[in-house]
Amino acid sequence: MSDRPAPITRPRTGRTRPHRLRWWFLARTGDPVAKLLAPGFRGDPYALYEHMRAHGPLHHSRTGLRAVMSYDDCGEALQNPHLKATEPSPRPLGERAPTLWVPGLGGTRATASDHAQAVASPLLRPVLHSSLPRIEAVAHGLLRQRAGAGFVDVVDHFAFPLAVACLGELLGVPAAHSARFTEMCHTLGRPLHGTPSGAEAEARHDAKENLAALVIRLEHERGRSPGDDLISRLSAPRHGNQAGDDVTRLLQRVRRRDPRKGSNPGVPRTPGTTAGQLTLEEVAAVCETLTVFGLDTAVCLIGNAIAALGARPEQWQLLRSAPQLAGEAMEETLRFDPPRPFALRFAGEHVRVAGRTLPRGSGLLVVLAAARRDPARFHAPDQFDLTRGSGPHLAADGDMTLATSWARLTAETALRVLADGLPRLRLAGQAVRRPGGVVRGFTRLPVHASPTA
């Protein structure tokens, strides 16, 4: 691999903070971690992973982060109870290490609590199963709309509108609210490149308030007439004034957010609720997680799968001949080119990782994308193979469990429809990767729309 840094867009001057300039400088001077996390990174991340792997099990970055790449070390790090998803606070008296600023990764923490994600995730497949015919009809309709144009951009023309329709079916959004819900999804589910402007931050805050209000309305309606949708299944029976208290807590939580700082990562449990019940506040957090993180993850996962399959015609024909392999295709895409390549952990105390001791407060980058191509774990790890059959892959449980589970189900449907509608999968122009390494996906992925192209 060349030691010459890949092109990194310089941060905007004026209000740029010193730590952003420092990261830009480190990226430009070749620090692999700084390059990977730079918002303007457009290089090959897998070449950087191998460069880091070749220099030992624990990579020390000049950013202050350490990084682990092997499957075993990443697995141990994710399971270590002393490695947390948030920085330890407050620091003991005398510790002078500054708060670690990591570009992009601060916004990947899901809004729903681990408990809420654990309750909601198993419900996704049975809820979507009853809506599958309608979702597939939407997917086929999206392809038909582009048949006359000769090409379909997998990102804008297919994956995103399909994911929005799938989410609407999952939550049971009525037709009367469909346009309003779609507008919220466009505001919250589309990626923001770089620091959002004041107007963008305000728009996202307003969209989150509108989404919370919609959830309150739907949850109230489902209390009187429950259905098979996710909100109906998550809503727990409420007694006395608990419903009113829940609404008050939810609105207070939404309104006290600083739109420039993002969402609270956790949701406090209401005393007296059982493990299988979710409060209204938690139901709203689940819906927000699916909208803010799930939509983007689904679009990236569909795009990454199509890019991998489009470059390997024999794999595409295998999927066409056996559509039941759509699930395996999703697992292989999550291994080969996952939308969320990293998990960030902090040492709550001195802890051993990869044979080394990390001081309390140290930041650890768990490079999931590198672990999933670890040659010690996977045969021919750089090959995309639908028949690999290696089972579920290493995942950062808790952080993105719900979003990734839903994205996988949406992408399975997308692949089945595309395999039926596009017998020959061929690129129709230049594919454009998203800038930055924190989320791996495409901004443009055009393929021929004609089934005979």
Closest CA to 37 of 423, 437, 311, 424: 437
- pLDDT of 271 reads 39
Read off the pTM.
0.86
**Which residues touch 430 (CB under 8 Å, ≥6 apart)?**
444, 446
Instruction: Spell out the alpha helix ranges (H) of 190-325.
Output: 198-224, 230-234, 242-255, 280-289, 295-310, 313-321
Closest CA to 177 of 141, 215, 209: 215
Task: Encode pLDDT of 36-67 as tens digits.
Answer: 998 888 899 999 999 999 999 999 999 999 99
Q: How far is CA 140 from CA 6, 167, 306, in A?
A: 39, 17, 16
Task: Encode pLDDT of 337-395 as tens digits.
Answer: 999 999 999 999 999 999 999 999 999 999 999 999 999 999 999 999 999 886 667 77
The pLDDT-based confidence of 236 (bands split at 50, 70, 90) is low
Please check the confidence at residue 238 and state whether its pLDDT lies above 60: no
- pLDDT of 371 reads 95
Long-range contacts of 375-384 (CB under 8 A, 24+ apart): 376/70, 376/71, 376/72, 377/71, 377/72, 378/71, 378/335, 382/46, 384/308, 384/309, 384/311, 384/312, 384/315, 384/332, 384/333, 384/336
Please check the confidence at residue 397 and state whether its pLDDT lies above 70: no
Task: Encode pLDDT of 278-317 as tens digits.
Answer: 899 999 999 999 999 999 999 999 999 999 999 999 999 9
Residues 207, 188 contacting (CB under 8 angstroms): yes
The pLDDT-based confidence of 414 (bands split at 50, 70, 90) is very high
- pLDDT of 102 reads 73
- pLDDT of 401 reads 83
- pLDDT of 278 reads 87
269, burial (CB in 10 Å: exposed 0-12, middle 13-18, buried 19+): middle
**Which residues touch 441 (CB under 8 Å, ≥6 apart)?**
155, 191, 296, 299, 300, 303, 304, 339, 433, 434
Cα–Cα distance measured from residue 385 to residue 396, given in angstroms and rounded to the nearest whole number: 23
Residues 319, 326 contacting (CB under 8 angstroms): yes
Mean pLDDT score, 388-413: 81
